[in-house]
């Protein structure tokens, strides 16, 4: 091996640690996961989410970073956690349910994806389901149409029935939405 080739090889080898260090300092996209309860309660959901991200080419620590925070069932913690995510400048917050509204308030410019939310239109999370607008999107488990179909099926099975009772938690806003809709449907079914 000639002297020049050896010096070139040695010089290149000396740069390897610098190149490796430069690659490691590259900022990975950060997903802030705001869990509403405990790590144990969310373990299956988080595992499925991370697995699907991996299938899509996003590997934790290599192409994406996850920041996990847990509300431990305390609604007061949701706002604090979302504000922390805003300070950390996460690229997106992933959450569910009641924490979504707190995240929207605490991190108004951070994209938010909710895994599931009840009545996102009625609670003001999104403008409408077809075009949510703003920085929030996700899935709704709003079942108003399904509830009216169940009532229609009941009317077909028991056409002489005149009184139907509904056992529900009236302190839960999606339930109130369904009950209001069912009253309107029932008045048309049983005339």
- DSSP string for residues in 58-117: --BTTTBEEEEEE-TT-HHHHHHHHHHHHHHT-SEEEE-TTHHHHHHHH-TTS-EEEEEE
* In this structure, CATH architecture of domain 23-140: 3-Layer(aba) Sandwich (3.40)
Contact 34, 94 (CB under 8 A): yes
pLDDT, tens digit (0-9, with 9 covering 90-100), for 21-72: 455 567 899 999 999 999 999 999 999 999 999 999 999 999 999 999 999 9
Does residue 20 surpass a pLDDT of 60?
Answer: no
Contacts of 112 (CB under 8 A, 6+ apart): 92, 93, 94, 95, 100, 103, 104, 135, 136, 137, 138
Does residue 89 surpass a pLDDT of 80?
Answer: yes
Report if pTM > 0.75: no
Confidence of residue 3 (pLDDT cuts 50, 70, 90): very low
Does residue 163 surpass a pLDDT of 50?
Answer: yes
């Amino acid at each position: 091996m000639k002297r020049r080739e050896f010096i070139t090889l040695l010089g290149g080898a000396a740069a390897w640690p610098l190149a490796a260090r430069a690659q490691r300092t590259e900022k990975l996209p950060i997903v802030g996961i705001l869990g509403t309860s405990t790590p144990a309660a969310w373990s299956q959901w988080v595992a499925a989410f991370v697995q699907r991200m991996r299938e899509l080419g996003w590997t934790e620590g290599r192409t994406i970073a996850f920041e996990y925070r847990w509300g431990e069932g305390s609604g007061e913690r949701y706002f604090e956690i979302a504000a922390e995510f805003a300070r950390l400048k996460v690229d997106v917050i992933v959450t569910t349910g009641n924490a979504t509204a707190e995240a929207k308030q605490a991190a108004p410019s951070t994209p938010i994806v909710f895994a599931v939310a009840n009545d996102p239109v009625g609670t003001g999370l999104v403008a409408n389901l077809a075009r949510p607008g703003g920085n929030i999107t996700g899935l709704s488990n709003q079942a108003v149409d399904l509830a009216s179909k169940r009532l229609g099926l009941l009317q077909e099975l028991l056409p002489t029935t005149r009184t139907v009772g509904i056992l529900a938690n009236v302190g839960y806003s999606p339930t109130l939405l369904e009950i209001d809709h069912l009253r309107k449907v029932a008045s048309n079914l049983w005339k």
